[in-house]
Amino acid sequence: MKKVVIAGSLSFEKEIKEWVSWWTDQGLAVINYPSPSSEGGKFPESYPEIKRKFYQDLSKADILFVVNGDKNGMSGYIGAQVFAEMVFAVALNLIYDKNVKIILAKVPSKKVQSYEEIEHWLALGWIKIYE
């Protein structure tokens, strides 16, 4: 069974849950995605383990799906953390011959901090936009 990891800002919690259901309905296993921490006030202490698990799961994934909704006045918002996760998947593909498909939910705004790099990766076919 193919494995999916979902990345995105926690402010897209509703959309992330909808995509988890959609991928599951397609017969794929969603093995990690952003969700509010159940650690309560212990979040700073749990953050390193949450990120370690996320990157471990990403290294096992067939697909990295980026939920990049509208935020901070930008369409297709991608923040620094999600971009770092995309970079990790690109590096897995380039260095370790993985074949992690990186799919963005929508075209990012030119205002997104990493837009030029994303545009370059799209041209190279390293990432795709969901259709």
The amino acid present at 90, given as its one-letter code, is: V
Return all residues near 96 (Cβ < 8 A) that are at least 6 apart.
none
Return all residues near 3 (Cβ < 8 A) that are at least 6 apart.
28, 29, 30, 31, 57, 60, 61, 62, 63
pLDDT digits (tens, 9 = 90+) for 84-127: 999 999 999 999 999 999 999 999 999 999 999 999 999 999 99
Report the predicted TM-score, pTM, of the whole model to 2 decimal places.
0.94
* Distance between CA atoms of residues 31 and 12, nearest Å: 18
What is the set of domains in the chain, with CATH numbers?
3-129 (3.40.50.450)
Reported confidence tier of residue 38, pLDDT bands at 50, 70, 90:
very low
**Crossing angle between the packed helical segments 80-96 and 115-124, to the nearest 10 degrees:** 30
Maximum Cα–Cα distance across the chain: 43
89-104 as b/e: b if 16+ CB within 10 A: bbebeeeeebebbbeb
Instruction: Give the residue-averaged pLDDT of 57-82.
Output: 97
The per-residue pLDDT for 44 is: 73
Q: What is the mean pLDDT of the chain?
A: 94
Beta carbons of 115 and 79 less than 8 angstroms apart: no
